[in-house]
Amino acid sequence: MSTIFINLSSVTQNINVLGEEILFKGVPTINFVLTGISETASSALTLDINWGDSSSIQYAQKDIVFNYKTKSIFDEVLYGKVGGTILNQYEHTYIPAISSFFTNLTAQFLIHYNNGFYANITQPIKLIRESYYDNIQKLGITSTQMVGASASNTLANLQSKFNNATYITFLNN
């Protein structure tokens, strides 16, 4: 699992933030940590998360009254966010397209504050599909066999050091 920390100072005007593109290989599960976004000037009321991969938009809304019996006070203690917060950790698994080696996506976090302003945070993500060679990585020779009277052809059993899969190959000299 990979983690992206998003930090932002107090929001006193409408703001659009564009993060740097981050590369991931394979099928990553990304943990977006929004606890670094300051709520000292105003409190975040709603959060809309568009993951950018055509999955459904995730919504979060701050409770009007914070129920201390059912909810944790760790955010108040650790981050100084009195009355709870919606700016927590959010996790999503991205699956790259099968038809291409590169998939460009954009995760978007739209935060509305109680002072009427908003913060639109955009995080570009580039997914790189693993290739055949990424799944094999290193090969070791487990056995060889000479085929035919001339011994110019060889049958070799190769085993991947990564996933222990065995590949039978025919080598023609």
**Consecutive 10-residue runs of the chain (173 residues): their mean pLDDT?**
80 89 89 86 91 93 76 68 79 87 93 92 90 72 78 80 80 75
Look up the pTM and report it: 0.71
What's residue 53's pLDDT?
Answer: 92
How many C-beta atoms lie closer than 10 Å to residue 41's C-beta? 13
What's residue 38's pLDDT?
Answer: 84
d(CA 51, CA 55): 7
What's residue 75's pLDDT?
Answer: 64
- CATH topology (fold) of 2-128: Immunoglobulin-like (2.60.40)
Write down the residue that tokens 């050091």 correspond to. Answer: 161
Instruction: Please give the single-letter amino acid code of residue 151.
Output: A
Strand partners, 92: 30
What's residue 82's pLDDT?
Answer: 66
Q: Which 8-state DSSP code applies to residue 58?
A: E
Q: Which 8-state DSSP code applies to residue 56?
A: P
Instruction: Give 103-134 as a 3 state SS string.
Output: EEEEEEEEEEECCCCEEEEEEEEEEECCCHHH
What's residue 132's pLDDT?
Answer: 67
Is residue 146 helix, strand or coil?
A: strand
Q: Residue ranges per domain, the chain?
A: 2-128, 133-172
31 contacts 1 by C-beta, under 8 angstroms: yes
What's residue 149's pLDDT?
Answer: 67
